[in-house]
Amino acid sequence: MDTVWDGIALHTSPGFAASPVHRHRRPPEIGIGQRGILLDIEGGPDDLPPGYASRVHAVHPRLGAARALSETLEARSLSDPATAPPMTLPGEILHQLHPPRTSLHHLADDSRREPLGRLRGSVQ
């Protein structure tokens, strides 16, 4: 269980790979798993031998794992935005599915907020 946990932490947490504990005291499976995840997400068809991915998926089907992972990360990020820093997978999922509403246009048009002038205390 610790190996899987550390592999997920290495993949999803910025700076974890630089930790001396990770570099010197963790089994190599953690790094191998992280590299495999990156290859799966960022790699192209020329990064693996022909037919390799098909053989792996035949033995270990994905079964909707990407959707389940995205939904789980979305829910976690919404409940605690600190778990979704910029430039991470959770941060990107949160940004794509719930873009920030920071423009004045959105503030003025949002029916859940007071008009912009009332927020400042005067309208003229």
Interval 76-116: pLDDT, tens: 999 998 989 888 888 899 889 988 765 444 444 444 545 44
- Give the pLDDT score at 109: 47
Q: Where are the alpha helices (DSSP H) in the chain?
A: 2-12, 20-25, 28-42, 52-59, 65-79, 89-97, 104-109, 116-120
Residue-wise pLDDT for 68-83, tens only, equals 888 999 999 999 989 8
The CA-CA-CA angle for residues 91, 87, 83, to 5°, reads: 40
| Angle formed at CA 35 by CA 29 and CA 36, multiple of 5 degrees | 85
Name the band, by pLDDT with cuts 50, 70 and 90, for residue 52: confident
Supply the DSSP string of 101-120, one letter for each residue: --SHHHHHH-TTS--HHHHH
Confidence (pTM): 0.46
How do the domains of the chain map onto residue ranges?
1-61, 64-124
